[in-house]
Chains A and B, each alone.
Chain A
């Protein structure tokens, strides 16, 4: 909101500099977004002069040579000028040699195209008054020649553009800000004097005009606790006085006419919105404050037709709505140039009602802005009186009816008891009791009682009466802020942090993220951060259509950020694509973050980590390395799961289902599901998907996701198990099996047979695949898997005989059902 310094000075004698006032506003709790100075800057050697003659420059078509009389400041000067309006007889501002104009532009004696020039005649922008460069600034009044510029021009103003926090509607006006500044600078606050006080002169009783407004009825008192209407007859619409126009313009309002301007002026002065009707246009000469009929229409002052609902409050005449209450008047009832009789509305509307209507109509105004935040419930009539004073003074007329006042004063009585000790306890440093009391009183918080507390050490207790415009003050803690504001929050004394120990640890999810990040960064991955909100089309690759519905926002802001992400891979592919298209070589990216995965038709928020390994494209490396493959991703995903306490080695891995749009069938695997609380995918990213994204080369990837609740806060302590120091015996066993048989099944069978074979005599230490073969020498549809079996005893060195016996039995057992044969 814009606040004019000149205007403020009506209410408080501010002698402080603009900088000091800006600082005061800032530390009172209102952010100053901008300080705008209007009017001319202080400039010396710029004086009033009169153009005596104008002749064409002999050497330039567009220039003139003028003689200019600057009176006692130097007599008649010859000046070359390029402006179109340097006509003889005009009084202008002349910058004489020695003047320094804004932009550090020094004026000197000079020659312009061979013609001597003894100064410069100025356009508004050249003397720092706005941006008008269309011609010379022509002075309208006949000022004495030679008068210094700053004496000739009206003094400027300083306008503060201030952000008012929503808790302080009382500060949405000049009096409100003046009250704060008066408190800050310890100066008295002067309220405007009011002449009209509500009564009408007995002598005028005979000339009352009951015909202009017969009746005011409020049908919705819950939304409009107080409605007042004053009737003024015999006014003349015209422009408002220059001083009022000046102020309205300074704070960004366009002057309209004397009546409308007064309404705006008083609103900007007191914070109370009001509305003036042309009495003739009120059908039936009555006012009804009621809910609109469903579908009722009104064309508001901005020229738009609005359709109302039965929840919206309107001011209506006998037949039609004339104002959307507290928000905007209708085109049909406002003041026009030929208006002579007025009805001035000044009312207290409930904030919730105005806010709901404003929101539903998408219509807001200076008035609704104030009502939504709350106006002073006791300021209604005062503001009306002030406006009547100004209307009578600027538009003439007289008040021709007693006030129509419907509803009572909104009850207001609020007292807060607070002790010196309480405030000290909250702020943590000393402010003397008298200073605290002074702070209250400076803000017009009246201390009605001061007494020692029952407990002698708790200092005095104040009973503080809160004025009706400070609805934000309700509890002792609210007064702590008032004391601190006026003391100055810059003066909070420094201290050291006291940190008594707490028995607590970081959340498990925090540790999980840190561990997987450490792992992947340690394996040369670059961490990415992608948006959580993704386009609908992208989701198709990673989740079912049904599940995608559950991830949709009700009110997306842009179309390509409409759904929660079900995977991190899509974002990483986007990052990969961006780098490729910018010619930046990237192979390893990862991200940690939340993803949303369906279980039983409901999405669940999961902690997740995902990575991609892209084949280097246009690889210019001088030394080739092995490219990643499925097993690289398996290795990484196992490590990431381990960080969450999940041993994937003990979990079933399944090839991804046919036609998975995200992962490549035959080249990728899945493990777990959310009924276990976690899931993993890894392998080759679907080739068609990668191609459709315009990514070059193949991309491998992996993800691991887990429900936050599943992450244990404490890992279980590992127990040491003893190991043998005696030598091992090992045997290799190659088995021929069907091509489709998973290696893990064969390994399990071998391990089972081996354990049975060794019994309690000694131990099977390890069974591991060391060779996979298919092709020449093997039947069609078969492959050979070779296992290394390691045996060891804790008590003795094993003999060949016992190991051979066991090995023979293993071979017999695993081949017993005919599904596998020993390769010879």
Chain B
């Protein structure tokens, strides 16, 4: 019997090594360990083995069985591996580029706007929005800009014909004309009229000036404005906000300064300069970056806020100008051409 067992194990070894497919494997498995298999047949002879030899023979059979099983396992493993390998093509060249293009990019103006909004959100500002087609009231009258003010000239501001109608931009009075907003300050008025103080908003958006397009001017551009209305707001608070914004945006070596200026809707009013040594275009120069001031009492009275109770500040700046400074771009027109070689540089 021992000789028979050895022969079966040896035969199985040769046999199973040649097997490459699952059907072959199933057939071979049946031949050796199936109900009618050779090894099974030998095991069935155990009954005929004398009782005293049974432990020895049993051990031999078990050993043979284990050997055959291990050969079977190896064969199955080899087949499974071959099947997986068949799913693969040749090895890839990992250095070939992905053919899908991408990744997508945000426009630099979006990047700068979002960064400013993130910085301002940290100190409690939320982002507000308003229409780009505005009326004279929201763009000028409510901002203390009298009707004969040069900023309202048809030379500087885009107007619509007197009979123009815009279904979802309501006029404050029937005579006023529609226009394209010249600043995002109109959002301040809408926000103040809709709500009650305290208010802390940032309003980024597109604005329009009737201007020749050149390296620094564009018929439409973008502004970002902050408005804060509360009790006991001071010039010092305004300066603190500006210091915070530009230190967050440009780094700790950034300084800002105020120069007295004039805007109809703030009093006192300032222009804001900044300097940041690490910016190539700035270095030690003072660069004008925006305008600001304390909300004029007339503006508060116009929206029904008591100027004796409420005080506030407003700050506004051009986003293109800021982006040009941050990235070192020297022509505003690049923002509106959308050359992919430009767009891809900032994301």
Contact = CB atoms under 8 A, between A and B. Distances in A.
Given A425-B232, A557-B210, A478 B267 contact: yes
Given A492-B235, A579-B340, A528 B107 contact: yes
B259 A605 contact: no
A426 B313 CA distance: 11
B294 A526 contact: no
A471 to B, nearest CB: 13
Given A504-B200, A555-B158, A489 B260 contact: yes
B29 interface: no
B167 A599 contact: yes
Given A498-B237, A499-B124, A623-B99, A594 B158 contact: no
Contacts, number: 251
A361 interface: no
B234 A425 contact: yes
A495 B259 contact: no
Interface in B97-144: 97, 99-107, 109-110, 114, 122-124, 126-129, 131-133
B10 interface: no
A780 interface: no
Contacts of B260: 27-29, 481, 484-485, 489
Interface stretch (B1-9, B60-68, B331-339): B331-339
A793 B165 CA distance: 57
A593 interface: yes
B96 interface: yes
A501 to B, nearest CB: 6
A252 interface: no
A726 B339 CA distance: 55
B198 interface: yes
A477 interface: yes
A501 B124 contact: yes
Contact of B159 (A500, A506, A527, A555): A555
Contact of A165 (B123, B148, B210, B262): B262
Interface stretch (A123-131, A398-406, A546-554, A649-657): A546-554
Contacts of B124: 499-502
B299 to A, nearest CB: 11
A526 B344 contact: yes
B297 interface: yes
Interface residues of A, number: 98
Interface stretch (B19-27, B38-46, B239-247): B239-247
B53 interface: no
Contacts of A339: none
B268 A428 contact: no
Interface string A517-548: 10011111111111111000000000000000
A60 interface: no
B206 interface: yes
Given A485-B260, A564-B133, A602-B165, A532 B296 contact: no
A707 B110 CA distance: 22
B101 to A, nearest CB: 6
A635 to B, nearest CB: 16
**Best-buried of A489, A530, A587, A600 by chain B (most CB within 10 Å):** A489
A497 B127 contact: no
A378 B157 CA distance: 35
B237 A524 contact: no
B336 A531 contact: yes
B293 to A, nearest CB: 9
Contacts of B208: 532-533
A34 interface: no
Interface in B142-171: 148-150, 153-154, 158-162, 164-169
B63 to A, nearest CB: 45
B219 interface: yes
B127 A352 contact: no
B168 A356 contact: no
Nearest to B122: A499
Contacts of B241: 497
A427 B270 CA distance: 13
B343 interface: yes
Contacts of B149: 166
Given A506-B126, A532-B208, A532-B220, A524 B103 contact: yes
A194 B219 CA distance: 52
Contact of A588 (B97, B101, B259, B297): B101
Contacts of A428: 234-237
Contacts of B283: none
A589 B200 CA distance: 34
A816 interface: no
B335 A429 contact: no
A355 B148 contact: yes
A15 B71 CA distance: 108
B220 A507 contact: no
Given A167-B262, A588-B101, A531 B219 contact: yes
Contacts of A550: 164-165
B297 A497 contact: no
Interface in B293-347: 294, 296-297, 311, 335-341, 343-344, 347
Interface string B258-274: 11111000011111000
A619 B221 CA distance: 35
Given A352-B148, A499-B124, A533-B219, A427 B236 contact: yes
A26 interface: yes
Nearest to A480: B268
Given A481-B268, A521-B104, A26 B236 contact: no
B102 A524 contact: yes
A31 B104 CA distance: 43
A527 B200 contact: no
B126 A520 contact: no
A449 interface: no
Contacts of B150: 166
A528 B338 contact: yes
A72 B310 CA distance: 76
B165 A497 contact: no
A455 interface: no
A70 interface: no
A542 B118 CA distance: 36
Given A493-B236, A507-B129, A531-B219, A475 B167 contact: no
Given A557-B211, A604-B167, A625-B100, A529 B128 contact: no
B99 to A, nearest CB: 4
Given A165-B262, A497-B123, A555-B210, A527 B343 contact: yes
A817 interface: no
Contacts of B103: 521, 524
A498 B271 CA distance: 22
Interface in A155-178: 165-168
Contacts of B258: 489-490, 492
A303 B133 CA distance: 42
B281 interface: no
B110 A527 contact: yes
A206 interface: no
Interface in B211-262: 211-213, 219-220, 230, 232, 234-237, 239-241, 243-244, 257-262
Contacts of B169: 605
Interface in A97-125: none
Contact of A605 (B132, B162, B262): B132
Interface string A579-591: 1001011111100
12 contacts: A28-B260, A359-B153, A477-B268, A494-B240, A497-B123, A533-B208, A554-B154, A555-B154, A578-B337, A584-B340, A603-B166, A605-B169
Interface of B: 96-97, 99-107, 109-110, 114, 122-124, 126-129, 131-133, 148-150, 153-154, 158-162, 164-169, 180, 198-201, 206, 208, 210-213, 219-220, 230, 232, 234-237, 239-241, 243-244, 257-262, 267-271, 294, 296-297, 311, 335-341, 343-344, 347
The 8 closest A-B pairs by CB, nearest first: A428-B234, A428-B236, A29-B260, A524-B102, A481-B268, A165-B262, A521-B104, A575-B338
